[in-house]
Amino acid sequence: MSDPQQKRGQKQGLKRGQNRGLRSHLSGLSAEHQAARAYEALGFEVVEERWRGEAGEIDLILRQGATWVFAEVKKSTDFETAATRISQKQVQRIRQSATLYLDRFPNEQVEEVRLDAVLIDAEGQVEILENGLGFE
């Protein structure tokens, strides 16, 4: 017979898949924080984190003067694997979201718009691919 206290604890705790999902969520937040600090070191202002619009979510929105950057952050064991985790469908959603975001501020000065890919490896190294997702 099983222990009722143990069963109750299992019901109140996280399920197996939820634990993995929570770890992924926290890892993603940590990666986005690392990416934001890297941009700040380059002189960018973090305008939004995890901004959600009608077309989808953008991990980071940054600005330096009249240059706007919309960044997708991916973390994996190495940069190459992180890069493969960005799908074309995701890139399309980010492009649409960036356009919708900028449309909200018609009086803002915009000289350059970039869609960057920010890759983070298992050691915490950050690689910023400027306009790595392209903005057309």
The pLDDT value given to residue 108: 87
Q: Position of tokens 């700040």?
A: 40
Task: Kindly report the pTM of this predicted structure.
Answer: 0.81
The pLDDT value given to residue 50: 95
Nearest to 128 by CA among 111, 112, 114, 116: 116
Beta strands (DSSP E) in 17-123 are 45-53, 56-64, 67-75, 112-120
The pLDDT value given to residue 57: 94
- Tens of pLDDT along the chain (136 residues) come to 445 444 444 445 556 666 766 666 555 667 899 999 999 999 999 999 999 999 999 999 999 999 999 999 999 999 999 999 999 999 999 999 999 999 999 888 899 999 999 999 999 999 999 999 987 6
The pLDDT value given to residue 72: 97
Q: Are 120 and 85 in contact (CB under 8 A)?
A: no
The pLDDT value given to residue 63: 97
Domains located in the chain, CATH noted: 4-129 (3.40.1350.10)
Main-chain dihedrals φ then ψ at residue 54, nearest 5 degrees: -60, -35
